[in-house]
Structure 1
Amino acid sequence: MNFVATTTRDGGSNPSGDRRVRRTQAALARALLQLVEKQDLPRITVADVAERAGVSRSTFYDHYRDVHELAEVACTAMIDRLIEAIPTPRTVTPELGPDAIRSLEGFFASLAEHAGLYRALLGPQGSARVADHIRRRMTGVIHERLSEAVGEQGEQGEHAGLPPDLPPDVPAAFTAGALIGVASDWLERGCPRSPAEMAALTWPLIGALYRI
């Protein structure tokens, strides 16, 4: 998975878009993702990441305070792309069901690809920053699309069984929390089911929510 980050150690952004900075940050992120597949995140040191990325430790500290901050940036950047593919009420229809299931499968497959990283950051001793970012981003996307779906229902007479007076914030937060909970539990237990199985098991639950 390609990765480009522009977050600096002070939490701001690099306004100049300097290519060298972005290349270095991308190299550090790739190095971490490679290392985390072989050992637990808490055991990975700055020296490990710097060596794998081909940079000095001082260069690492020019961009991130520690390995955990780098992991948070890498995780949230990848999550932003995953969230866009999550099925929402606009796809909760029989004819679009297969596409929605494939989207869900892609979501779980992407989590499994870097399971070690996500497990460390979303587990009991994980990152509150990452968990909150995921919740907010996912809720926001679902809220936006749910609002569109309700608007379409008012114009077309029906849409996925949604009542016209449904406040989008509640089902959006509910759906986001449910998906995060399912994904976190699946990762914590070592991904015992395949992404395809998880998609097939999760989709009916989402469908049930929006066929009110």
Structure 2
Amino acid sequence: MATSRGSTTPTGDRRVRRSQAALARALLRLVEEQDLSRITVADVAELAGVSRSTFYDHYRDVHELAEAACTAMIDGLIESLPGDFNTADPGREATASLEAFFGSLAEHAGLYRALLGPQGSARVADHIRHRSTVAIQERLREAVESSEVPEMARPLLELPLDVPAAFTAGALIGVAAEWLQGGCTRSPGEMAALTWPLFHSLFRIETRPSR
């Protein structure tokens, strides 16, 4: 396969990425104007400036493109989740991270609403749930390892983290889906302020010994 001068990246790979990026951008524009179910391959291809055959080189249908576009954004979106759950007064940093999370959802509300709604994509919902669970579990582990906890309270920190992480990820997805279906009537900032206490109440590491 040919490569450009001074580069080891195959030109074909770059063409594939450019085509996929163009198709994703086109879909994101279209889904803000109409329901995903009404968007055709021809609509996306025309707006992206590619042929229908090029579309089918990459995706089976519009729904598969939507799943690819959504899951790609999820990886960046998950990074905005809070880093420290174990603080009663998180200040601006923690709530700002949740605000960024809801803000990212709101930016592409049409797409997320379609994929997380009643007729949505189980694949996308599962991807979000899994990625969120992994990210939250890692943040919990970091919080536990960095906490100064009395020796008598150490057993509390030896509990498995996968179940509370999965529980929280599922709850967060449920809150986000409900908010999207309701038209995002609350701002991302309001959602962050309402959601943070739930995070903290679930993951607060209790350091006081029982009587």
Specify the TM-score bucket, using the shorter chain as the normaliser.
0.7 to 0.9
Matched AA of 2:40: T
SS across alignment from 1:183: helix
Deviation of residue 121 (structure 1)?
A: 0.3
Distance 2:126 2:94 in 1: 25
Pick from 120, 133, 157: which aligns with 2:149? Answer: 157
Partner of 2:174: 181
- Residue by residue, what CA displacement relative to the aligned partner does 1:86-108 show, whole Å, maximum 9, x if unpaired? 114x2432454321100111111
Distance 2:29 2:76 in 1: 19
Distance 2:46 2:120 in 1: 25
- CA RMSD in angstroms, aligned pairs only: 1.9
Distance 1:140 1:102 in 2: 21
Partner of 2:3: none
Partner of 2:106: 112
- Residue by residue, what CA displacement relative to the aligned partner does 1:167-210 show, whole Å, maximum 9, x if unpaired? 11111011101110000000011111111111111111111112
Give percent identity, aligned residues only. 73
Q: Are 1:51 and 2:46 an aligned pair?
A: yes
Deviation of residue 148 (structure 1)?
A: 2.4
Do 2:85 and 2:143's aligned partners in 1 also have CA atoms closer than 8 Å? Answer: no
Partner of 2:186: 193
Do 1:105 and 1:196's aligned partners in 2 also have CA atoms closer than 8 Å? Answer: yes
Pick from 57, 72, 82: which aligns with 1:62? Answer: 57
Q: Are 1:122 and 2:116 an aligned pair?
A: yes
Distance 2:27 2:86 in 1: 37
* Worse-superposed segment, 167-176 or 48-57: 167-176
Q: How does 1:25-40 map to 2 (within 5 A)?
A: 25-40=20-35
Distance 1:130 1:167 in 2: 26
Q: Are 1:42 and 2:37 an aligned pair?
A: yes
Do 2:71 and 2:128's aligned partners in 1 also have CA atoms closer than 8 Å? Answer: yes
Partner of 1:204: 197
Higher Rg of the two aligned structures: 2
Matched AA of 2:116: L
Do 1:41 and 1:120's aligned partners in 2 also have CA atoms closer than 8 Å? Answer: yes
Equivalenced residues, count: 193
Partner of 1:103: 97
Do 2:28 and 2:111's aligned partners in 1 also have CA atoms closer than 8 Å? Answer: yes
Do 1:115 and 1:187's aligned partners in 2 also have CA atoms closer than 8 Å? Answer: yes
Partner of 2:164: 171
Distance 1:26 1:72 in 2: 13
Deviation of residue 157 (structure 1)?
A: 2.0
* Structure 2: runs of 5+ lacking an equivalent: 1-8, 207-211
Distance 2:131 2:91 in 1: 23
* Worse-superposed segment, 167-176 or 38-47: 167-176
TM-score normalised by L of structure 1: 0.86
Do 1:29 and 1:74's aligned partners in 2 also have CA atoms closer than 8 Å? Answer: yes
* Structure 1: runs of 5+ lacking an equivalent: 1-14
Deviation of residue 165 (structure 1)?
A: 2.1
Deviation of residue 40 (structure 1)?
A: 0.4
- Residue by residue, what CA displacement relative to the aligned partner does 1:11-42 show, whole Å, maximum 9, x if unpaired? xxxx9571111001000000000000000000
